[in-house]
Amino acid sequence: MSNLESQADIGIIGGSGLYSMSGFDAQDEVRLETPFGEPSDAYIVGTLEGKRVAFLARHGRGHRISPSELNFRANIHGMKQLGVERILSVSAVGSLKEEHKPLDFVIPDQFFDRTRGRISTFFGGGVVAHIAFADPICPQLADLMEKSCAAAGVTGKKGGTYLCMEGPAFSTRAESNVYRQWGMDIIGMTNLQEAKLAREAEICYVTLAMVTDYDCWHEGHDAVTIDEIISNLLKNAENAQKTVREAVKNMPKSRTCECGSALKHALLTSKDAIPQAAKDRLKLLIGKYL
């Protein structure tokens, strides 16, 4: 495990429509095992804009793994093994507000959980930790992402709430209208678990949410053709590549946020009470605190 450290500084997780990143130099496929099982696919590790970057296709190449089946822990642990300190997560979402139009990008600052029973912590099994999650997105990366959208010529709005639903079916109209009454901005199926686990792994995390269409509340929803949706997915993927490339290029060298010490006051279990198996399983995450 240790010989893999520092292979990459920046992680990119690509969602629906973004299964690869163009422009990687010295590209290498790295397949990893983790104490939590297998990641979605091999990590594509290489150099982008002079920086060491690892790309992971969230649903696997070929889009094989549904949101409920994703091994979020393995995906984030793999990033940690590679030495990643920042994750840029790209996701297709539906819009719950008129103002978020198809082809807009949103950089949410909040999540709301409507998933059911997904494993979204590395802890348990003898070790208890409660991370702070009031502000789930890294503020430094959110600022960077907003600037990167502007530099890429894409509408990118910072702030808003990402409602994370279980899926895989989309919402009923009743659900969609309730989410709107709650003031939610966008709806997706994956990013909340990633954000939690990244925080536990002391990795900065930001979501670049690409609006594909309006959710079913919108009167224009049923008029949208499959061709239009696919065309939006492709256009969004192209814009996301430009935006992510800008973000990688302008990534500040050091972290000014507190993500890197998220576990400092979170571990509640006394050191001598932690079972050896748990210490082994969590070595990469909590080793420095033991």
Active site members: 213, 215
Gap between the Cα atoms of 209 and 110, Å rounded: 12
Gap between the Cα atoms of 62 and 186, Å rounded: 25
**β pairing state of 10-14 and 110-114:** unpaired
Secondary structure of residue 182 in the 3-state scheme: coil
Q: Which range touches Zn ion (CB under 5 A), out of 61-69, 135-143, 144-152, 217-225?
A: 135-143
Per CB under 5 A, contacts with Zn ion among 10-39 are none
User: Site mask, Zn ion, residues 94-133, x = CB under 5 A?
Assistant: ----------------------------------------
Question: 134 vs 169, which CB is nearer to Zn ion?
Answer: 134
Helices (H), 137-204: 139-152, 173-181, 191-200
**Smallest distance, Zn ion to C-beta of residue 61, A:** 28
Secondary structure of residue 37 in the 3-state scheme: strand
Secondary structure of residue 110 in the 3-state scheme: strand
**Smallest distance, Zn ion to C-beta of residue 246, A:** 18
**Smallest distance, Zn ion to C-beta of residue 98, A:** 32
Question: 140 vs 171, which CB is nearer to Zn ion?
Answer: 140
Question: 209 vs 259, which CB is nearer to Zn ion?
Answer: 259
Q: Contact 55/44 with Cβ under 8 angstroms?
A: yes
Burial of 25 (0-12, 13-18, 19+ CB in 10 A): exposed
Interface pick for Zn ion out of 87, 142, 204, 248 (rule CB under 5 A): 204
**Smallest distance, Zn ion to C-beta of residue 204, A:** 3
Question: 21 vs 204, which CB is nearer to Zn ion?
Answer: 204
206 is a contact residue toward Zn ion (CB under 5 A): no
Per CB under 5 A, contacts with Zn ion among 233-262 are 257, 259
Per CB under 5 A, contacts with Zn ion among 259-288 are 259
Q: Which range touches Zn ion (CB under 5 A), out of 8-16, 99-107, 151-159, 201-209?
A: 201-209
Among 290, 88, 118, 282, CA closest to 203: 88
Question: 224 vs 257, which CB is nearer to Zn ion?
Answer: 257
The amino acid present at 258, given as its one-letter code, is: E
**Smallest distance, Zn ion to C-beta of residue 124, A:** 25
My answer on whether omega of the bond before 168 falls inside 30° of 0, hence cis, is yes
Gap between the Cα atoms of 194 and 72, Å rounded: 6
Interface pick for Zn ion out of 13, 138, 263, 274 (rule CB under 5 A): 138
What is the DSSP code string of 234-270? HHHHHHHHHHHHHHHHT--SS--SSGGGTTTTTB-S-
Secondary structure of residue 24 in the 3-state scheme: coil
**Smallest distance, Zn ion to C-beta of residue 85, A:** 8
Task: Catalog residues that contact Zn ion under the rule CB under 5 A.
Answer: 138, 204, 257, 259
